[in-house]
Amino acid sequence: MCEMLGGISSKTAYTLLQENKISHFKIGRVYKIPKINILLYLNVLSFTFDRPHCDALLH
């Protein structure tokens, strides 16, 4: 998961999971994250950053 998200740290990955930003489930103490959930999270992020800034004035 860390590699798919651009090499983030394990601590950052656990934070994303604990904040429920990436859908997952746990079996005992082990997090299970289907690959599609990571791809959906990345897709949501790309839409957030691709939008133009509305506060910019057009000339």
For the stretch 1-55, pLDDT in tens is 888 888 999 999 999 999 999 999 999 999 999 999 998 998 877 665 555 555 5
55 in a structural domain: no
Sign of CA dihedral 48, 49, 54, 58: negative
32 in a structural domain: yes
36 in a structural domain: yes
23 in a structural domain: yes
- So what's the pLDDT on residue 5? 87
Q: What is the pTM of this model?
A: 0.67
- So what's the pLDDT on residue 52? 56
44 in a structural domain: yes
3-state secondary structure the chain: CCCCCCCCCHHHHHHHHHCCCCCCEEECCEEECCHHHHHHHHHHHHHHHHCCCCCCCCC
Number of domains in the chain: 1
- So what's the pLDDT on residue 1? 85
4 in a structural domain: no
Look at the chain and count its residues: 59
59 in a structural domain: no
> In terms of residue numbers, what domain contains 46?
10-50
